[in-house]
Structure 1
Amino acid sequence: MNIKIVCVGKLKEKYFKDAIAEYKKRLSRFAKVSIVQVPDEKAPEKFSAAEDERVKQIEGERILSKIKDKEYVYVTAIKGKQRSSEEFAKEIQNLATYGHSDITFVIGGSLGTSNAVNKRGDDLISFGKLTMPHQLMRVVLIEQIYRAFMINSGSPYHK
Protein backbone atom coordinates (compact mmCIF):
# COMPACT_ATOMS: atom_id res chain seq x y z
CA MET A 1 0.00 0.00 0.00
CA ASN A 2 1.11 3.55 -0.71
CA ILE A 3 0.19 6.33 1.69
CA LYS A 4 0.82 9.93 0.66
CA ILE A 5 0.28 12.99 2.82
CA VAL A 6 0.04 16.22 0.85
CA CYS A 7 0.34 19.29 3.05
CA VAL A 8 0.75 23.02 2.73
CA GLY A 9 3.89 24.66 4.10
CA LYS A 10 7.19 23.40 5.44
CA LEU A 11 7.79 21.93 8.84
CA LYS A 12 10.31 24.00 10.75
CA GLU A 13 10.13 22.51 14.23
CA LYS A 14 12.57 19.66 14.85
CA TYR A 15 10.25 17.94 17.33
CA PHE A 16 7.50 17.66 14.68
CA LYS A 17 10.01 16.38 12.13
CA ASP A 18 11.30 13.81 14.63
CA ALA A 19 7.80 12.56 15.47
CA ILE A 20 6.87 12.20 11.81
CA ALA A 21 10.14 10.40 11.04
CA GLU A 22 9.45 7.95 13.86
CA TYR A 23 5.95 7.11 12.62
CA LYS A 24 7.15 6.84 9.01
CA LYS A 25 9.74 4.32 10.21
CA ARG A 26 7.12 2.35 12.14
CA LEU A 27 4.74 2.38 9.17
CA SER A 28 7.40 1.16 6.73
CA ARG A 29 6.57 -2.48 7.47
CA PHE A 30 2.97 -1.90 6.35
CA ALA A 31 3.13 0.75 3.64
CA LYS A 32 5.32 3.09 1.68
CA VAL A 33 4.71 6.55 3.15
CA SER A 34 5.58 9.80 1.43
CA ILE A 35 5.02 13.35 2.57
CA VAL A 36 4.67 15.99 -0.12
CA GLN A 37 4.88 19.62 0.93
CA VAL A 38 3.54 22.37 -1.30
CA PRO A 39 4.40 26.03 -0.69
CA ASP A 40 1.96 28.10 1.30
CA GLU A 41 0.72 31.31 -0.27
CA LYS A 42 1.73 34.49 1.49
CA ALA A 43 -1.20 36.56 2.69
CA PRO A 44 -1.46 39.83 4.59
CA GLU A 45 -2.41 39.77 8.29
CA LYS A 46 -5.88 41.14 7.60
CA PHE A 47 -7.55 40.41 4.32
CA SER A 48 -10.99 40.16 2.79
CA ALA A 49 -13.06 37.06 2.19
CA ALA A 50 -12.15 37.35 -1.50
CA GLU A 51 -8.44 37.35 -0.63
CA ASP A 52 -9.04 34.35 1.64
CA GLU A 53 -10.60 32.46 -1.28
CA ARG A 54 -7.77 33.50 -3.61
CA VAL A 55 -5.16 32.09 -1.22
CA LYS A 56 -7.10 28.82 -0.81
CA GLN A 57 -7.49 28.56 -4.59
CA ILE A 58 -3.75 28.99 -5.23
CA GLU A 59 -2.83 26.51 -2.50
CA GLY A 60 -5.56 24.19 -3.80
CA GLU A 61 -4.07 24.16 -7.29
CA ARG A 62 -0.71 23.24 -5.79
CA ILE A 63 -2.31 20.42 -3.80
CA LEU A 64 -4.28 19.07 -6.77
CA SER A 65 -1.13 18.97 -8.91
CA LYS A 66 0.24 16.33 -6.49
CA ILE A 67 -2.79 14.00 -6.65
CA LYS A 68 -3.19 11.31 -9.30
CA ASP A 69 -6.55 10.14 -10.64
CA LYS A 70 -6.26 6.62 -9.21
CA GLU A 71 -5.63 7.77 -5.63
CA TYR A 72 -8.31 7.56 -2.97
CA VAL A 73 -8.25 10.97 -1.28
CA TYR A 74 -9.12 11.95 2.27
CA VAL A 75 -9.25 15.71 2.87
CA THR A 76 -8.91 16.85 6.48
CA ALA A 77 -11.67 19.33 7.28
CA ILE A 78 -13.39 20.54 10.44
CA LYS A 79 -16.72 19.82 8.70
CA GLY A 80 -15.60 16.31 7.74
CA LYS A 81 -16.86 13.08 9.27
CA GLN A 82 -15.45 12.20 12.68
CA ARG A 83 -14.53 8.57 13.23
CA SER A 84 -13.22 6.44 16.04
CA SER A 85 -9.77 4.92 15.56
CA GLU A 86 -11.43 1.53 15.04
CA GLU A 87 -13.75 2.90 12.35
CA PHE A 88 -10.81 4.55 10.61
CA ALA A 89 -8.83 1.29 10.73
CA LYS A 90 -11.75 -0.60 9.19
CA GLU A 91 -12.00 1.97 6.37
CA ILE A 92 -8.29 1.63 5.59
CA GLN A 93 -8.65 -2.15 5.58
CA ASN A 94 -11.70 -1.99 3.30
CA LEU A 95 -9.95 0.34 0.88
CA ALA A 96 -7.07 -2.13 0.58
CA THR A 97 -9.47 -5.06 0.20
CA TYR A 98 -11.36 -3.37 -2.62
CA GLY A 99 -8.32 -2.38 -4.64
CA HIS A 100 -7.37 1.08 -3.39
CA SER A 101 -3.66 0.63 -2.84
CA ASP A 102 -2.89 4.36 -3.17
CA ILE A 103 -4.37 6.51 -0.42
CA THR A 104 -3.69 10.23 -0.17
CA PHE A 105 -4.42 12.48 2.78
CA VAL A 106 -4.59 16.25 2.32
CA ILE A 107 -3.87 18.80 5.04
CA GLY A 108 -4.61 22.33 3.91
CA GLY A 109 -2.96 25.52 5.05
CA SER A 110 -4.04 27.81 7.87
CA LEU A 111 -7.13 28.88 5.91
CA GLY A 112 -8.24 25.34 5.08
CA THR A 113 -8.74 23.82 1.64
CA SER A 114 -10.37 25.13 -1.52
CA ASN A 115 -13.71 23.92 -2.82
CA ALA A 116 -11.88 22.22 -5.69
CA VAL A 117 -9.75 20.18 -3.26
CA ASN A 118 -12.80 19.26 -1.19
CA LYS A 119 -14.63 18.14 -4.35
CA ARG A 120 -11.65 16.02 -5.44
CA GLY A 121 -11.63 14.32 -2.07
CA ASP A 122 -13.38 10.98 -1.88
CA ASP A 123 -14.02 11.67 1.78
CA LEU A 124 -13.72 14.56 4.21
CA ILE A 125 -12.25 13.48 7.54
CA SER A 126 -12.29 15.41 10.79
CA PHE A 127 -10.22 14.87 13.89
CA GLY A 128 -12.61 16.92 15.99
CA LYS A 129 -13.95 20.43 16.23
CA LEU A 130 -10.75 21.77 17.72
CA THR A 131 -8.56 24.01 15.62
CA MET A 132 -4.92 22.98 15.64
CA PRO A 133 -1.84 24.12 13.76
CA HIS A 134 -1.55 22.30 10.44
CA GLN A 135 2.01 21.31 11.40
CA LEU A 136 0.69 19.47 14.47
CA MET A 137 -2.07 17.93 12.36
CA ARG A 138 0.61 16.09 10.38
CA VAL A 139 1.77 14.34 13.54
CA VAL A 140 -1.79 13.53 14.65
CA LEU A 141 -2.65 12.18 11.20
CA ILE A 142 0.40 9.97 10.76
CA GLU A 143 -0.03 8.58 14.28
CA GLN A 144 -3.66 7.70 13.50
CA ILE A 145 -2.61 6.03 10.24
CA TYR A 146 -0.07 3.99 12.20
CA ARG A 147 -2.70 3.20 14.84
CA ALA A 148 -5.07 1.98 12.09
CA PHE A 149 -2.46 -0.45 10.79
CA MET A 150 -1.73 -1.65 14.31
CA ILE A 151 -5.45 -2.21 15.00
CA ASN A 152 -5.76 -4.13 11.73
CA SER A 153 -2.75 -6.30 12.61
CA GLY A 154 -4.20 -7.17 16.02
CA SER A 155 -1.42 -5.39 17.91
CA PRO A 156 -1.97 -4.30 21.53
CA TYR A 157 -0.66 -0.79 20.59
CA HIS A 158 -4.23 0.58 20.57
CA LYS A 159 -5.10 -0.63 24.07
Structure 2
Amino acid sequence: MQVRIIAVGKIKERFLSEGIAEYEKRLVPYLKLTLTEIPEEHRGARASSGQKQLAKEKEGERILAAIPEHAYVVALDLRGKELSSSELAARMHDWQLSGTNTIVFIIGGDLGLSDAVLSRAAFRLSFSPMTFTHPMVRLILVEQIYRACRINSGEPYHK
Protein backbone atom coordinates (compact mmCIF):
# COMPACT_ATOMS: atom_id res chain seq x y z
CA MET A 1 0.00 0.00 0.00
CA GLN A 2 1.06 3.55 -0.65
CA VAL A 3 0.25 6.45 1.66
CA ARG A 4 0.75 10.01 0.59
CA ILE A 5 0.49 13.02 2.86
CA ILE A 6 -0.19 16.26 1.04
CA ALA A 7 0.29 19.30 3.26
CA VAL A 8 0.27 23.03 2.71
CA GLY A 9 3.42 24.85 3.82
CA LYS A 10 6.89 23.92 4.95
CA ILE A 11 8.00 22.66 8.33
CA LYS A 12 10.37 25.13 9.94
CA GLU A 13 10.88 23.45 13.31
CA ARG A 14 13.77 20.99 13.32
CA PHE A 15 12.34 18.84 16.10
CA LEU A 16 9.17 18.22 14.06
CA SER A 17 11.16 17.39 10.91
CA GLU A 18 13.31 14.96 12.90
CA GLY A 19 10.25 13.29 14.42
CA ILE A 20 8.60 12.89 11.03
CA ALA A 21 11.84 11.48 9.58
CA GLU A 22 12.00 8.94 12.41
CA TYR A 23 8.48 7.66 11.69
CA GLU A 24 9.19 7.62 7.95
CA LYS A 25 12.06 5.19 8.68
CA ARG A 26 9.85 3.07 10.94
CA LEU A 27 7.16 2.84 8.26
CA VAL A 28 9.47 1.38 5.58
CA PRO A 29 8.61 -2.28 6.36
CA TYR A 30 4.87 -1.58 6.23
CA LEU A 31 4.13 0.79 3.36
CA LYS A 32 5.50 3.39 1.00
CA LEU A 33 5.06 6.87 2.45
CA THR A 34 5.39 10.03 0.37
CA LEU A 35 5.21 13.54 1.76
CA THR A 36 4.25 16.31 -0.65
CA GLU A 37 4.44 19.94 0.41
CA ILE A 38 2.19 22.42 -1.38
CA PRO A 39 3.40 26.03 -1.25
CA GLU A 40 1.30 28.42 0.82
CA GLU A 41 -0.42 31.07 -1.23
CA HIS A 42 1.17 34.40 -0.42
CA ARG A 43 -1.13 37.07 0.96
CA GLY A 44 -0.61 40.19 2.98
CA ALA A 45 -1.03 40.36 6.73
CA ARG A 46 -4.11 42.50 6.16
CA ALA A 47 -5.69 40.34 3.49
CA SER A 48 -9.44 40.72 3.12
CA SER A 49 -11.76 37.76 3.54
CA GLY A 50 -12.10 37.65 -0.25
CA GLN A 51 -8.33 37.52 -0.69
CA LYS A 52 -8.10 34.76 1.92
CA GLN A 53 -10.82 32.78 0.15
CA LEU A 54 -9.01 33.16 -3.18
CA ALA A 55 -5.75 32.02 -1.54
CA LYS A 56 -7.49 28.95 -0.08
CA GLU A 57 -8.94 28.10 -3.51
CA LYS A 58 -5.52 28.41 -5.18
CA GLU A 59 -3.96 26.15 -2.55
CA GLY A 60 -6.86 23.76 -3.15
CA GLU A 61 -6.15 23.65 -6.88
CA ARG A 62 -2.53 22.70 -6.17
CA ILE A 63 -3.64 20.04 -3.68
CA LEU A 64 -6.11 18.53 -6.15
CA ALA A 65 -3.43 18.45 -8.85
CA ALA A 66 -1.17 16.41 -6.52
CA ILE A 67 -3.76 13.69 -5.80
CA PRO A 68 -3.34 10.49 -7.83
CA GLU A 69 -6.44 9.71 -9.88
CA HIS A 70 -7.70 6.58 -8.10
CA ALA A 71 -6.55 7.45 -4.58
CA TYR A 72 -8.73 7.23 -1.50
CA VAL A 73 -8.67 10.74 -0.05
CA VAL A 74 -8.84 11.55 3.65
CA ALA A 75 -9.08 15.24 4.53
CA LEU A 76 -8.02 16.34 7.99
CA ASP A 77 -10.86 18.60 9.04
CA LEU A 78 -12.01 19.96 12.40
CA ARG A 79 -15.56 18.93 11.43
CA GLY A 80 -14.44 15.41 10.55
CA LYS A 81 -14.97 12.20 12.48
CA GLU A 82 -12.78 11.52 15.48
CA LEU A 83 -11.35 7.98 15.59
CA SER A 84 -9.31 6.08 18.12
CA SER A 85 -6.00 4.63 16.96
CA SER A 86 -7.60 1.19 16.71
CA GLU A 87 -10.49 2.60 14.69
CA LEU A 88 -8.08 4.32 12.29
CA ALA A 89 -6.18 1.04 11.91
CA ALA A 90 -9.44 -0.78 11.14
CA ARG A 91 -10.42 1.86 8.57
CA MET A 92 -7.03 1.65 6.88
CA HIS A 93 -7.34 -2.15 6.80
CA ASP A 94 -10.83 -1.89 5.29
CA TRP A 95 -9.69 0.64 2.69
CA GLN A 96 -6.88 -1.70 1.67
CA LEU A 97 -9.22 -4.71 1.51
CA SER A 98 -11.61 -2.77 -0.71
CA GLY A 99 -8.86 -2.50 -3.31
CA THR A 100 -7.44 0.88 -2.39
CA ASN A 101 -3.83 1.01 -3.46
CA THR A 102 -3.14 4.61 -2.45
CA ILE A 103 -4.47 6.55 0.52
CA VAL A 104 -3.92 10.30 0.50
CA PHE A 105 -4.16 12.30 3.71
CA ILE A 106 -4.54 16.05 3.20
CA ILE A 107 -3.53 18.71 5.71
CA GLY A 108 -4.52 22.25 4.80
CA GLY A 109 -2.79 25.45 5.72
CA ASP A 110 -3.87 28.07 8.23
CA LEU A 111 -6.89 28.92 6.06
CA GLY A 112 -8.12 25.33 6.02
CA LEU A 113 -9.15 23.34 2.95
CA SER A 114 -11.13 24.59 0.00
CA ASP A 115 -14.63 23.28 -0.67
CA ALA A 116 -13.29 21.55 -3.79
CA VAL A 117 -10.74 19.58 -1.74
CA LEU A 118 -13.32 18.68 0.91
CA SER A 119 -15.65 17.49 -1.86
CA ARG A 120 -12.90 15.25 -3.28
CA ALA A 121 -12.36 13.61 0.11
CA ALA A 122 -14.03 10.26 0.70
CA PHE A 123 -13.53 10.65 4.46
CA ARG A 124 -12.97 13.58 6.81
CA LEU A 125 -10.84 12.90 9.87
CA SER A 126 -10.48 15.06 12.96
CA PHE A 127 -7.74 14.42 15.49
CA SER A 128 -9.30 16.58 18.16
CA PRO A 129 -11.42 19.67 18.72
CA MET A 130 -8.19 21.22 20.04
CA THR A 131 -6.06 23.40 17.76
CA PHE A 132 -2.62 22.16 16.71
CA THR A 133 -0.09 23.76 14.41
CA HIS A 134 -0.27 22.27 10.93
CA PRO A 135 3.35 21.01 11.09
CA MET A 136 2.57 19.33 14.41
CA VAL A 137 -0.41 17.60 12.80
CA ARG A 138 1.98 16.07 10.27
CA LEU A 139 4.01 14.49 13.06
CA ILE A 140 0.88 13.23 14.82
CA LEU A 141 -0.44 11.83 11.53
CA VAL A 142 2.71 9.88 10.64
CA GLU A 143 2.83 8.50 14.18
CA GLN A 144 -0.79 7.38 13.93
CA ILE A 145 -0.18 5.78 10.53
CA TYR A 146 2.76 3.90 12.06
CA ARG A 147 0.62 2.86 15.02
CA ALA A 148 -2.13 1.67 12.64
CA CYS A 149 0.39 -0.43 10.73
CA ARG A 150 1.61 -2.07 13.94
CA ILE A 151 -1.95 -2.74 15.08
CA ASN A 152 -2.87 -4.25 11.71
CA SER A 153 0.28 -6.42 11.78
CA GLY A 154 -0.67 -7.79 15.20
CA GLU A 155 2.39 -6.22 16.77
CA PRO A 156 2.40 -4.64 20.22
CA TYR A 157 1.93 -0.91 20.46
CA HIS A 158 1.85 1.52 23.34
CA LYS A 159 -1.69 2.23 24.51
| TM-score where L is the length of structure 2 | 0.96
- Alpha-carbon shift at residue 10 of structure 1 (Å): 1.1
- Alpha-carbon shift at residue 3 of structure 1 (Å): 0.4
| 3-state SS of paired residue (1:96) | helix
| 3-state SS of paired residue (2:42) | coil
- Alpha-carbon shift at residue 50 of structure 1 (Å): 1.4
Partners of 2:155 and 2:49 lie apart in 1 by: 47
Partners of 2:132 and 2:47 lie apart in 1 by: 21
| 3-state SS of paired residue (2:157) | helix
Q: Could you tell me which residue of structure 2 aligns to residue 46 of structure 1?
A: 46
- Alpha-carbon shift at residue 47 of structure 1 (Å): 2.7
Code of the residue aligned with 2:75 in structure 1: it is V
Partners of 1:31 and 1:119 lie apart in 2 by: 26
Q: Deviations over 1:49-92 (max 9, x none)?
A: 21221111011011111002200000000001111111110000
Matched, 1:80 2:55: no
| 3-state SS of paired residue (2:41) | coil
Matched, 1:103 2:103: yes
| TM-score where L is the length of structure 1 | 0.96
Q: What is the root-mean-square deviation of aligned Cα atoms in Å?
A: 0.9
| 3-state SS of paired residue (1:113) | coil
Structure 2: runs of 5+ lacking an equivalent: none
| 3-state SS of paired residue (2:66) | coil
Partners of 1:119 and 1:61 lie apart in 2 by: 12
| 3-state SS of paired residue (1:65) | helix
Partners of 2:33 and 2:9 lie apart in 1 by: 18
Code of the residue aligned with 2:125 in structure 1: it is I
Partners of 1:62 and 1:45 lie apart in 2 by: 22
Q: What is the 5 A alignment of 1:101-140?
A: 101-140=101-140
Q: Deviations over 1:3-56 (max 9, x none)?
A: 000001111221111101110111110000000001001122233221221111
Q: Could you tell me which residue of structure 1 aligns to residue 66 of structure 2?
A: 66
Structure 1: runs of 5+ lacking an equivalent: none
Partners of 1:52 and 1:130 lie apart in 2 by: 23
Q: Is the 8 A contact 1:73 1:121 kept in 2?
A: yes
Report sequence identity in percent: 42
